[in-house]
Every structure is written in structure tokens, then in C-alpha cells.
A and B are shown apart, each in its own frame.
Chain A
Amino acid sequence: MAVRARGLSLGQRRAVWAYIFLIVPLLFFIGVRFAPTLFAMSVSLFKWDILSPTKPWLGLQNYETLFADKVFWKSLTNTLLYVVLSVPLELVFGLTFALLLQSAARWKGFFRALYFIPFVTSTVAISWVWRWMYEPTFGPLNKLLAFLSLPEQKYLANPDQALPSIVIAIAWQAVGFYIIIFLAGLEAIPADFYEAAKIDGAHAWDLFRHITLPLLNPTIVFLTVIGTINGIQVFTQVLNMSFQGTGGPLDATKSLVLFIYQQAFRSFKMGYASAGTVVLFGIILLITLIQLKVTTRRVEY
């Protein structure tokens, strides 16, 4: 390799350029992502009220209070419910409509765009539209039930129905994304696989069960993980759809992130809220590790 001026080899000169290009981005990732992570962990060990000048050290007391807090446990189980209810709904409807679209001879692009519209629309606007649809006295859903002579429902005002009602709005908005990703996954499956199986006398269900589903496995894992992580972080829909944005009725819809938000920005207990975020981080970390384990053990077909 030719040695140039200033005694640097060509490779070294390029390495210097690499470092120059990386300075600003590295400062960003350290300053805005990494350091705040450590800072949040340390804040969780203090009684940190943004308005008060003293921030006394508490040790693990925030965590003890958190684990004794009924509302925290309620919001944690609610969050689990959001995930457990929304992810299967999104997967099943996403895959069903992706399969239908793939078999459609015409209008494929039209329907694909139609299903995708909610996904690109503002979640806040959609939450309010659904809230108005669920409105017990004048909303169209109860009007429809009344028309069919079925008992009218309270939806968001009923502690038993409120969370599932929000889940429906969430899944309705997300399903277009699942369809698109499933479609891309389906298109990656070589057509000869189906041809060969058909020659062997396989029926539609066999094709789905033994070719489509196993080959879609990476897509299903990817979407399950994305869906789970999004579900754990549910916030916007709950804030906008629950009465006065408090996660009611009776904390029935309160998610973990809404709980954290209220502690930090309504009660200004930054330390206590940070303890909540550390728990959230732990859960997401666990899921990511499980995902890594599942995806690195990928089977070759």
C-alpha cells in the first residue's frame, strides 16, 4: 500500500475519515440515548420532584413503593391484556387478509391501499373517531344494535368492556401493517413449492399447513415481537379514549406507560416514575432476548 504524506497509510487515512464522519452521530447516541438510560436508572433511586430543589436519596424505596402499589399492578396486568388480546387479533386478521389478497386476481392494489389507510392515519384522530363510534347514547354502534333489537352496550364506560373496546381500535389501525408484511412474506415463498406439492396431490389446507405456515415462521416471529413491544408501550389510544384520559373507568384501561406518564407529568414524581420505566425496560429487554434466542435458532427448510 502506497504511503502518502504525513506518514499515514491509505488505510489509516480512511480510518481517520471514518472517525470524523462518526463523531457527531456518536455524540448523539451517547448523549441522547445512552447517558439518559443511565440517568433514568439513577433518578429512580431518588425522591426527584422537578419543582423542589432537594432530591433526597431513597435507595430502592421507589421500587418497594411501586411493587406495593395496587394501581401499578393493575396497569401491568392491563398492559399484559392489551398484548394478549391485540397481537393474536392482528396476526389472524393480517394473515387471513394477506392470503385472500394474494389469491385475488384483480383489485389487489386497491384493497391493499384500503386496508393500509388506518395505519398511516393519526392515532389521536382515530382514537377520537372510535370514541365517538362507541358513544353509548348517540354513537352508531348502539344505533346499529338498537336497529337489530340487540341490547345496547356501554363500551368505554363499562369497566369490563373498556379495555377490549380500545383493543379493537388498536387492532383495526394496525392490521394493514400486518397485511403488508405478511404479503411480502408470502411473495418470498417460491411458487414451485406449491406446484410440486400439488403434483403430489396436496389440498389447499395441506399446502397452507405444510408449506405456507412453516415458511412464514420468520415473518410471524417478527410481527409477534413488533406487536408485543408496541402493545407493551400502548399509550396514545388509552389517553385519548378513556374518560378524561385517566385510564378509567376504575383504572380498567390504564396501561403501564399511562401510569408512568401520570406519575411523572401529573404528580411530578420523576423518581417514582423512573422506577416504573426501569421495570418497563426490563420487560422489553426480556422479550428482545427471547426473540434473539428464537430467531437465531432458525430452521432451514
Chain B
Amino acid sequence: MNQTQTRGLPRWTTQTILYAVLLIGGILMIIPFVWMLATSLKPAKEVFLGNFFPIAPTLDNFQAVLKKVPFARWYLNSLIVATLSTLSVAFFDSLVGFVLAKYEFRGKNVIFVFILSTLMVPTEMLIIPWFILSNSLNWVDTYWGIMFPGIMTAFGVFLMKQFMEGIPSELLDAARIDGVSEFGLFWRIAMPLVKPALAALCIFNFLGNWNAFLWPVIITEKMDMRTVPVGLAFFSGEAGSAWELIMAGASMATIPFLIVFLIFQRQIIKGIALTGLKG
């Protein structure tokens, strides 16, 4: 089992070295977050002293940020956008995947290849047409405007098709005989059977939407319609050298999400590995 065990060296030595390296790596991963939090808790005059940790920790910076910018509103915006587009992706990508995996009809392969081929076009290329469209339809500064490019994804269709193919056709035929409608086959029979893949897709998609920056920064102009990343970027850009405020903002943007991650880390990591491997 143990591949790193080399001849001569006893097992405990290799394991000690191994954990030392793992620990150094872990510290490197965590130090920027500690530095972020430490700075956010420092009074302004401490920021330019040499100390790493705050001497007189305070929550004033958080209050100051909340007073300056509508951070709670940004959170709400991000939550609404990420949740709604994830629900839409979960429904439509699964439906298309189900149809492409389990139905026989003319043009099936053409449709599949067509949807997949849209994956090759980078978002950056579509952003200018999307912006021209949104501008003429007054979608700027609306939730729909932020969301519409991501309500379905070619990647999700591909992923769900892979998993829908694993559902035995006999099962669907038996359900048909029992009088289940075609939509019922999808909703009540297929969907529960692909739950792990569906969860993975939702996690992957929610993360992507939550952290999305390029499109939201273009489609939102009003302060109140910004998402967390966009709001944070503008706030930090205007804060000058008030690093204690910028770090308070960064902490507010990351820590609640980190707590959610730590609670569900097993499922999230499994989900990412699953989407990565099938993709």
C-alpha cells in the first residue's frame, strides 16, 4: 500500500517527513486567511505596525464597512442569483440529459453535438453581444440580467447525460405501463436515481455563480445590484490604503462561505471530483 516507503528507511521516518511536508503545505494554505482576519481585527493605527496579530482586537472595521456599503444587500443578491440559476441548471440540464440519454428521435446526435460545441466558445466572446442585448432590453441592473447567461450549461447537460444513461430502460418502461407520464418518468423516476450527480452539479454550479466576476461586473452599475465579489472589488479599489477595511470586507465575503464549506466539505470535495472526472 505504502508507495513512499523506500528501502532502508523505517516506516516511521517516512511518515514523519510526510507529515512535516503536509503540515508546511497546510500552513501555506492557511496563512493568507489568518493574515486577512488578523488585519481586519486591527485598529487603523495598528495596521502599519510590525505585529502580525492584533494587539487590541476590535470589530470596528466591520461596522465601518457595513456603514459605508450595503454588504448585506450584496449577500442577498449573490444568494438570489446563485440559488435561482443553480435550481434552473439542475432542472434543465437534467431534463436535456435525460431526453438525450433515454429517448430515440431524429436529430438526437445533432442536438447533442450542437449543445456540446457551445462549450468551446469562451464566455468572453459572448459578453459583448450579451451586453448589447441587455442594454437594449433594459436588463442592466436586474437579477435576470445577471443570471440569464447561466440558467443552463452545456457542461451540466453532458454530465447528466452520462449519469442518465445508467438508468435501466426496463425500469422506465415498467413505469410507463403503470401509467406514469413522460414528465413523471423524468421527475419521479430518473431524478431520484441520479441524486449524487445532481448534488455534484449543484455544488459546482453554485460555487461558480457565487464567485462569478466578469459578467456581473459588466451587467451591474448600481451599488445596490452588485454581487459580493463585484461589490468587494469596487469597495477595495476605492478604499486606498485602508487595508483594515479591505480585509474586513474580504473576511465578510469569505468567512460565512468557508463555514458552510467546512460543514459540507466531504460532499463538496466528492462532488468536485465527480464533475472533474466525468468532464
Taking beta carbons and an 8 Å cutoff, which residues of A are in contact with B?
11, 14-15, 17-19, 21-22, 24-26, 28-29, 32-37, 39-40, 43, 50, 97, 99-105, 107, 109, 111-126, 128-130, 132-133, 135, 137-138, 140, 143, 172, 176-177, 180-181, 183-185, 191, 194, 203-204, 207-208, 212, 222, 232-233, 235-236, 239-240, 244-245, 257, 260-261, 264-265, 270, 273-274, 277-278, 280-281, 284-285, 288
Contacts and interface: CB of A to CB of B under 8 A. Distances in A.
A189 to B, nearest CB: 10
Interface in B29-68: 29-30, 32-33, 35-36, 39, 47-48, 50, 52
Most buried by A among B124, B182, B261: B124
A101 B5 contact: no
A18 B30 contact: no
A115 B32 contact: no
Given A33-B118, A50-B132, A184-B277, A118 B96 contact: no
22 contacts: A17-B182, A18-B99, A25-B115, A36-B125, A39-B132, A97-B25, A99-B3, A99-B4, A100-B21, A104-B15, A104-B19, A111-B25, A114-B29, A121-B254, A122-B254, A128-B247, A204-B6, A235-B213, A236-B213, A240-B233, A244-B237, A257-B124
A239 B125 contact: no
A17 B182 CA distance: 7
A120 B26 CA distance: 15
Given A117-B30, A124-B229, A125-B254, A36 B126 contact: yes
Given A29-B114, A116-B265, A120-B258, 4 more contacts: A104-B18, A120-B207, A204-B6, A239-B233
Chain B residues touching A, majority SS: helix
Contacts of A135: 243
Contacts of A113: 262, 265, 269
A180 B277 CA distance: 10
B115 A29 contact: yes
B159 interface: no
A46 to B, nearest CB: 12
Interface of B: 1-7, 14-15, 18-19, 21-22, 25-26, 28-30, 32-33, 35-36, 39, 47-48, 50, 52, 92, 95-96, 98-99, 103-106, 108, 111, 114-115, 118, 120-133, 135, 148-149, 151-152, 154, 157, 182-183, 186, 207, 210-211, 213-214, 218, 228-230, 232-233, 236-237, 243, 246-247, 249-250, 253-254, 257-258, 261-262, 265-266, 268-269, 272-273, 276-277, 279
Nearest to A278: B125
